[in-house]
């Protein structure tokens, strides 16, 4: 009988901003969401027939179609298969109606179980799409980790993880009506908004203190006097006990604080739980798919250490390290057999350099409809129009994380500019603007070069996108910089002197190093 148990981490909102009401009745949101180690446990097992949900810790109204059942129905509908008999067992730890996404986390865990049991090749994106039909927070709960969430919350962009820290969560003994809170927002003066771009930049730097300083939630601005007083009281208590920052999560009323010292967090929890029975200690959780692919990864729940892991995690880490060490030895052995050990050592260095560069730049990728002379000329016109506006959009960006956020916000505008250019030149090609990770070969530009690898790219697709492409770097603005200005422009965007030296050919042997990246990747792929 097929059966699987997975954990369902709750979430907190590091930032939460509401941009306005949509025509479909929902609100456009911009949030930074973080999965945490406080969570429920979900078990899915084949059963004789029908769907049943058994719960520990809560009671459910009889005869009601649950979100878990709706998720199962949507999953098998997507597969084009009848729903088998299923029994779902749910052990609840996350408080309900708390702003922690506990219900969405349970639904996401059910979907993750079903994928593993019945459709292991189903992409995560498809699972997130299924989850959206059940709830707005479900796509994030399928993914986990740290994400910029936009739209209803379903447009997700992975962000650098929240640095290791302890998180204290405290739910007061009252609930907040989410629909009413959304209604209060409409037309309200919300004052200063959460700085989501600054939060993303802090995460990119791995700066926990800066991230804590950026915590913010617009729902706190529309609380009643009584509600607001209780929330402020909890925040002040967390800060008195050395929290780096504190905020309400989601539509509340749970308040959380970030700590750089676990013992301080423990003391804060002990101080609060004397008054608030629903007080918890947690830690950040990384992308769930990566964790689930490693069967030796320790459980997230229960008594947590500084990293949110059980004490048995140390033993597991040793096993994992041993496996990695064996794999490394295999790589070295093969390199020696090929007589290329020196090149491969260079490749390790160059691969790390490429990854560091990829974390600091955004490329521009314009794909022509075809290779005809007319389509190639049109490509350059679109390039010029998009590049001009993108440069203006990004001129105030301090780093790549901020640049990414600004570009995602501007994708509709950039797509419209590209489409207008196409129409103005007498063509009716469809035009798409997107921001996604793209594989690039080693490329030489005027004044600098970039190694092969995956980079975040602003992609402009014209028509069929079957013609020769145009590539450059839109952040930092190296596309428009004169050759002599490239080093200064790159340094101003946060690149190191070594990275700039490599890019600008001042470091002898760059071609060999870039080639070594490709050789190293091929060897790794052969061993996987």
Identify any residues that bridge with 386 across adjacent strands, giving them in sequence order: none
Contact between 480 and 490 (Cβ < 8 Å):
no
Altogether, the residues listed in the chain come to a count of 528
Identify any residues that bridge with 27 across adjacent strands, giving them in sequence order: 21
Element (H, E) at 377: helix 373-394
How far is Cα 242 from Cα 255, in angstroms, rounded to an integer?
15
Residue 484: its pLDDT value, please? 62
Our answer to whether residue 137 is catalytic in this structure is yes
Q: For the whole model, what pTM was predicted?
A: 0.58
Residue 473: its pLDDT value, please? 86
How far is Cα 170 from Cα 475, in angstroms, rounded to an integer?
41
Residue 298: its pLDDT value, please? 37
Model confidence at 502, pLDDT cuts 50, 70, 90, reads: low
DSSP 136: T
Cα 155 vs. chain centroid, distance in angstroms? 10
How far is Cα 145 from Cα 284, in angstroms, rounded to an integer?
8
How many Cβ atoms sit within 10 Å of the Cβ of residue 210?
Answer: 17
Encode pLDDT of 47-86 as tens digits: 887 888 888 755 454 456 788 999 999 999 999 999 999 9
Our answer to whether residue 164 is catalytic in this structure is no
CATH 3.30.230.10 placement within the chain: 3-282
The structure tokens listed for 275 are: 């008054």
How far is Cα 42 from Cα 59, in angstroms, rounded to an integer?
16
The structure tokens listed for 65 are: 């179609």
Lowest mean pLDDT segment, chosen from 76-80, 198-202, 477-481: 477-481
Highest mean pLDDT among 166-170, 221-225, 286-290 belongs to 166-170
Out of 11, 92, 269, 360, the active site residue is: 11
Highest mean pLDDT among 203-212, 433-442, 469-478 belongs to 203-212
Decide yes or no: CATH 3.30.420.40 for domain 3-282. Answer: no
Model confidence at 163, pLDDT cuts 50, 70, 90, reads: very high
- Mean per-residue pLDDT for 366-387? 90
Identify any residues that bridge with 95 across adjacent strands, giving them in sequence order: none
- Mean residue pLDDT across the chain: 81
Out of 137, 235, 360, 375, the active site residue is: 137
pLDDT at 287 over 70: yes
pLDDT at 31 over 90: yes
Model confidence at 450, pLDDT cuts 50, 70, 90, reads: confident
484 or 74, higher pLDDT: 74
How far is Cα 249 from Cα 260, in angstroms, rounded to an integer?
19
Encode pLDDT of 314-357 as tens digits: 334 444 444 554 454 454 444 444 444 444 444 444 556 566 77
Residue 32: its pLDDT value, please? 96
Per the listing, tokens 């965007």 go with 493
Judged by phi (left if over 0) then psi (alpha if -120 to 50, else beta), residue 494 lies in left
354 or 277, higher pLDDT: 277
- Mean per-residue pLDDT for 280-290? 84
């Amino acid at each position: 009988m097929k059966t699987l148990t997975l954990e369902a981490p709750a979430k907190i909102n590091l930032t939460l901003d509401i941009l306005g009401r949509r025509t479909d009745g929902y609100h456009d949101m911009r949030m930074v969401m973080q999965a945490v180690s406080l969570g429920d446990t979900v078990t899915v097992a084949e059963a004789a027939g029908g769907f049943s949900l058994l719960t520990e810790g809560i009671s459910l109204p009889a005869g009601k179609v649950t979100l878990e059942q709706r998720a199962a129905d949507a999953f098998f509908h997507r597969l084009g298969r009848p729903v088998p008999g299923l029994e779902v067992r749910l052990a609840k730890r996350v408080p309900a109606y708390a702003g922690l996404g506990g219900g969405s986390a349970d639904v996401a865990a059910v979907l993750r179980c079903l994928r593993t049991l019945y459709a292991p090749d189903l992409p995560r994106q498809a699972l997130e799409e299924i989850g959206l039909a059940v709830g707005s927070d479900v796509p994030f709960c399928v993914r986990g980790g740290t994400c910029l969430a936009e739209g209803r919350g379903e447009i997700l962009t992975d962000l650098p993880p929240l640095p290791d820290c302890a998180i204290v969560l405290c739910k007061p003994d009252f609930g907040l009506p989410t629909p009413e809170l959304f209604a209060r927002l409409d037309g309200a003066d919300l004052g200063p908004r959460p700085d989501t771009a600054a939060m993303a930049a802090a995460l990119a730097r791995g700066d926990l203190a800066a991230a804590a300083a950026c915590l913010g939630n617009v729902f706190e601005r529309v609380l009643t006097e009584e509600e607001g007083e209780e929330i402020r009281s909890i925040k002040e208590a967390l800060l008195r006990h050395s929290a780096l920052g504190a905020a309400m999560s989601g539509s509340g009323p749970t308040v959380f604080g970030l700590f750089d010292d676990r013992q301080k967090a423990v003391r804060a929890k002990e101080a609060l739980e004397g008054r608030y029975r629903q007080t918890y200690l947690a830690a950040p959780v990384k992308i769930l798919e990566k964790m689930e692919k490693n069967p030796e990864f320790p459980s997230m729940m229960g008594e947590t250490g500084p990293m949110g892991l059980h004490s048995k995690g140390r033993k597991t880490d040793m096993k994992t390290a041993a496996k990695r060490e064996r794999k490394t030895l295999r790589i070295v052995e093969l390199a020696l057999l090929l007589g290329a050990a020196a090149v491969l050592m260079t490749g390790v260095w160059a691969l790390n350099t490429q990854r560091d560069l990829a974390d600091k730049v955004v490329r521009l990728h314009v794909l022509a409809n075809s290779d005809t002379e007319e389509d190639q000329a049109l490509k350059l016109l679109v390039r010029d129009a998009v590049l001009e506006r993108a440069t203006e959009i990004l001129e105030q960006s301090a780093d790549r994380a901020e640049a990414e956020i600004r570009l995602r916000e501007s994708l509709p505008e950039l797509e419209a500019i590209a489409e207008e250019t196409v129409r103005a030149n007498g063509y009716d090609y469809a035009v798409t603007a997107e921001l996604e990770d793209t594989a690039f070969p080693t490329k030489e530009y005027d004044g600098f070069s970039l190694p092969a690898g995956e980079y975040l790219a602003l992609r402009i697709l014209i028509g069929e996108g079957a013609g020769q492409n145009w590539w450059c770097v839109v952040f930092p603005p190296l596309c428009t910089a004169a050759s002599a200005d490239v080093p200064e422009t790159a340094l101003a965007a946060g690149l190191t002197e070594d990275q700039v030296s490599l890019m600008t050919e001042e470091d002898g042997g760059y071609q060999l190093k870039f080639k070594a990246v490709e050789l190293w990747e091929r060897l790794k792929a052969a061993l996987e």
